[in-house]
Amino acid sequence: MGEQDTSIKTTRDVRDRLRILASERGTTMNELLAELVTRELTEEEKEQRVRQALEEVRQMTGVSVSDDVRARARSFLQDLGREHHAA
């Protein structure tokens, strides 16, 4: 069974911008939307990539990163991002 079309409600401005972007790229609005949404990872996908990276680090170095260290690193990076945007 093939994929079925559906509708998405949006503003005229967003629709018009999608139309322009799709035209400039020589594609359809549907293909453009598909491309855009596949670029962005879900939170679950991000977490899976983190787990995979940490497992690779563990296998290569023998070092395991605790949840506490991950949380502190995440907090540090968020603070760093806030400082960068405030500057």
Q: For residue 32, how many other CB atoms are within 10 A of its CB?
A: 17
Structure confidence at residue 18 as a pLDDT band (50, 70, 90): very high
**In this predicted model, what pLDDT tens digit does every residue of 25-72 receive, in sequence order?**
999 999 999 999 999 999 999 999 999 999 999 999 999 999 899 899
CA dihedral 5, 43, 40, 12 (to 10 degrees): 60
Domain boundaries, the chain: 43-86
pLDDT at 1 over 60: no
pTM of full prediction above 0.75: no
The residues, any chain, with a CB within 8 Å of residue 32's CB and separated by 6 or more, are 18, 21, 22, 25
Q: For residue 14, how many other CB atoms are within 10 A of its CB?
A: 11
